[in-house]
Chain A
Amino acid sequence: MNRVLTCLFWLAIALVLTFITLPLAVVVAASLSPSSAVTFLPWEWTTVWYGDLLADRWLQPFLLSVKIATVVAGISGVLGVLAAYAVVYERIPGSTAIMAGLLSPLSVPQIVKGVAIVLFLSIIGLQSVLGTPALIAAHVVLALPFVTRMAATSLANFDGNLDRAAQSLGATKRQRLQHIVLPMIKPGVLSGVTFAFIISFNNIPLSVFLVRPGDTTLPIAVINYLEYSLDPVMAAVNVASMIFILAVIFLFEKIGGFSAQLHGGSK
């Protein structure tokens, strides 16, 4: 009985993993296709399509996406930490309501949010910010709940005795925040910031309303391209951005997650 269960368990895991990775494998295979039709012949492959990625057509949107995602990660990181600090650490009045408000963007479909932002900007006569400023603002709204939530959870798990120990050793509030609180919640905040970066970098439903023609983010460029053609270049773009995202995750893990594993936790 137990053996059967164990087998089923591993079978389920294998199925899930296959389900998740198979499409990715297909994309990778397609990007190596020797003919311009998206096919895959394991005995014949080429990396020639990856050469196209350096063309402006892909490089510009990529750089724009990186720029926006970086700024979004930074802004939502700072705002998220500040919000969590006020709500969890300082317990300012109405903190429950504030937290609910901060998390509320999660409950509105992104398309609706996109339309709303465009309408809002045109009502207040600020269509001119469409493009990068609007994209950044919209992505921050989207990413902030995640960062805030993660920072708040880290702060809630933070052992208040550490803070009191530091205080009894003469540390002022500023010193405690700098030397104790922030280092202790850093792993959680960095995970949140990683999410923010990826959310912004991959976003389509909001961005599609806010980009300016001729100056698009990478996912929008991909959508536009897909309207006319489906070829190995397309697959190569996707593989490249996948690798890029993995590299970003790895990098943040290195900065925050690593030290967290080594001496993190408050026990």
Chain B
Amino acid sequence: MNSFDIELVSVSKSFAGIPVVQDLNLQIPRGEFVSILGPSGCGKTTTLNMIAGFNTPSAGDVRVRGKSQNRIPPERRNLGLVFQNYALFPHMTVAENVGFGLRMRGTPKAEIGEAVDAALRSVRLDGFGSRYPKALSGGQQQRVALARAIAPRPSVLLLDEPLSNLDLKLREAMRVELKEIQEQLDMTFVYVTHDQEEAMAMSDRIVVMWQGAIAQQGEPGSIYRNPATRFVADFVGRSNILSVRRSIPGSEYFELCIDGTQIVLRSDCAGNSAVQSCCIRPESISLLNVSDAGTGPQNRLDGVVRRIVNLGAHVELLVEVANGLSLTVLVPSSRSSLVPELASTVTLGIDPQDVQVLSD
């Protein structure tokens, strides 16, 4: 016996010979909130459907608490499922929807009533039991769908982009609620999304998927700080990605010669001579005063401000540091006195630890 609620062992799936998921290995411990994050069409839904049992893997094994599920139909896997389009039963009231799972199991009426009330309370919809789904807002419908999935107390809840039909404000509120519900019920959540902010906000762990395979997995913070590949750096958060012509190991730092320019950046990430690119987060670049002494390990780059975009909380600058090479820099609006003029010359400071070496 092991402590993994869900394990995917070398799982692959092809549709009509076209591989969609390739040799996926994933272990999800009990009680963890795991997000599968990836661009549209990368195989997230297919993966979730294989866990739920609606797709059969072409190869490999899906295990729930150590037990292979390949021959178990979806209705006997005891996993909760929340759909993007809610999929509420329109001919049943909210209470009937939420009680459906228990009713199908033949649970006594009184118990169903209690479970329905508890589930509705946990999604803050008490008193809505006698309404029909049509008479609810999108956010309320989504919460009914959630209540319906958790009412039978499955050990694992699978969610496929459950918030993507909601507006931004509601989405942000629901993120917090989802996380709270997950912690309260101590359930394992597998959450599929293409929205990296959503994944960052809720997950204990993020699995970044690309073209049917796992590109990187880890805690949200470490994925953000240390993206392993060009794809992850680009997809998770915003990045300046620079091509590296040559990397020279120094005594303390690696020196990265940026392709097509005379620029050499110091990085304290362990790279090797095969490094082809590096990334710098826009918010880790600082604007230096000309008077700052040019000492220390910090990289200094001079450039010309080519574009200024006000994003509300931040101001985004596009600074041309060399012919054909511009860096995006994010400056908090609160320090708007520092925001330079268009076409003015600025000096950028980049810590060596913020220059992240990418493996491809």
Task: Report Cα–Cα, A259/B90, bound state, in Å.
Answer: 11
Per a CB cutoff under 8 Å, which of A162, A168, A259 touches B52? A168
B79 at interface by CB-CB < 8 Å: yes
CA A171 – CA B89 in complex, angstroms? 13
Considering the complex, which residues of chain B in the window 46-86 have a beta carbon less than 8 Å from any beta carbon of chain A? 52, 54, 73-81, 83, 85
B87 interface neighbour in A164, A172, A259, Cβ under 8 Å: A164
Shortest C-beta distance, B152 to chain A (Å), equals 7
A262: nearest chain-B partner, CB-CB: B132
Chain A residues whose C-beta falls within 8 Å of the C-beta of B169 in the assembled complex:
none
Q: Are B83 and A170 in contact (CB under 8 A)?
A: no
- Taking CB atoms, residues of chain B closer than 8 Å to A167 are 54, 73-75
- Check A133 for interface membership: any CB of B closer than 8 A: no
Assembly CA distance A267 to B104 (angstroms):
23
Which residue on A lies nearest to B81, using beta carbons? A168
B78 touches A170 (CB 8 A): yes
Of B54, B83, B90, which contacts A265 at CB under 8 A?
B90
Q: Which B residues are in CB contact (< 8 Å) with A170? A: 75-76, 78, 101, 104-105, 152
Q: Does A3 contact B (CB under 8 A)?
A: no
Residues of A near B132 (CB, < 8 A) are 262-263
Pair B91/A168 contact, Cβ less than 8 Å:
no
Contact flag A263-B100 (CB < 8 Å), given A161-B83, A161-B85, A168-B80: no
Q: Which residue of chain B is the closest to A165 with respect to CB atoms?
A: B87
Interface size counted on chain A using CB atoms at 8 A: 24
Sorting the interface of chain B by its residue count into under 10, 10 to 19, 20 to 34 or 35 or more gives 20 to 34
Digitize A231-267: 1 where CB-to-B-CB distance is under 8 Å, 0 elsewhere. 0000000000000000000000000000100111111
Shortest Cβ distance from A190 into chain B, in angstroms? 14
In the bound assembly, the distance between CA atoms of A263 and B91 in angstroms comes to 6
**A162 touching B87 in the complex, CB below 8 Å, given contacts A168-B81, A170-B101, A263-B132:** yes
Q: Which of B75, B91, B105 contacts A184 (CB 8 A)?
A: B91
**B281 interface contact, C-beta 8 A:** no
Tell me, in angstroms, the Cα distance from A171 to B75 when the chains sit together: 6
**B81's contact among A165, A179, A183, by CB below 8 Å, is which?**
A165
| B74 x A164 contact (CB < 8 A) | yes
The docked-state distance in angstroms from the alpha carbon of A46 to that of B132 is 51
Q: B75–A172 contact, CB under 8 A?
A: yes
Q: Does A166 contact B (CB under 8 A)?
A: yes
Query: Which listed residue, B91, B134, B148, touches A259 by the CB 8 Å rule?
Result: B91
Q: Which residues of A contact B74 (CB under 8 A)?
A: 164, 167-168
Please indicate the chain B residues that have their CB under 8 angstroms from the CB of A127 in the complex.
none
Contact with B along A182-198 (1 / 0, CB 8 A): 01100000000000000
Instruction: Given A159-B87, A168-B75, A169-B104, decide whether A263 and B81 contact each other with a Cβ distance below 8 A.
Output: no
Asked whether any CB of chain B lies closer than 8 Å to the CB of A141, the reply is: no
Quick check: is A117 within 8 A (CB to CB) of the other chain? no
**Is A175 engaged at the interface, CB distance under 8 Å to the other chain?**
yes
A86 at the interface (CB under 8 A from B): no
A212 vs chain B, min Cβ distance (A): 45
Q: Contacts of A171 on B, CB cut-off 8 Å?
A: 75, 100-101, 104
Minimum Cβ distance to chain A for residue B47 (Å): 16
> How far in angstroms is the closest Cβ of chain A from B77?
8
CA distance A137 to B85 in the complex (A): 44
**Residue in B85, B91, B101, B133 whose beta carbon sits within 8 Å of that of A169 in the complex:** B101
Give the one of B89, B101, B152 with max A CB within 10 A: B89
Minimum CB distance partner of A169 in chain B: B101
Known contacts A161-B85, A170-B105, A263-B132: A183-B91 contact under CB 8 Å: yes
Q: Which residue of A lies closest to B80 (CB)?
A: A168
Bound CA span A263–B148, Å = 18
Question: A166 contacts B100, CB within 8 Å?
Answer: yes
A127 to chain B: closest CB distance in Å?
Answer: 48
Closest chain B residue, CB of each to CB of A166: B100
> Counting CB contacts under 8 A, is A180 at the interface?
yes
CB distance from B160 to the nearest CB of A (A): 10
A-B contact pairs, 23 of them (CB 8 A): A161-B85, A162-B87, A164-B83, A167-B74, A168-B77, A168-B80, A168-B81, A169-B80, A169-B101, A169-B104, A169-B152, A170-B75, A170-B76, A170-B101, A172-B104, A179-B89, A184-B90, A259-B91, A263-B91, A263-B132, A263-B133, A263-B134, A264-B91
A interface residues, Cβ below 8 angstroms from B = 159, 161-162, 164-172, 175, 179-180, 183-184, 259, 262-267
Could you list 18 further interchain pairs (A-B, Cβ under 8 angstroms) beyond the known A165-B87, A169-B75, A169-B149? A161-B85, A164-B74, A165-B81, A167-B74, A167-B75, A168-B75, A168-B80, A170-B75, A170-B78, A170-B101, A171-B100, A180-B89, A184-B91, A263-B90, A263-B132, A263-B134, A264-B90, A267-B90
Closest 6 CB pairs of A and B: A169-B101, A168-B81, A161-B87, A165-B87, A171-B104, A263-B132
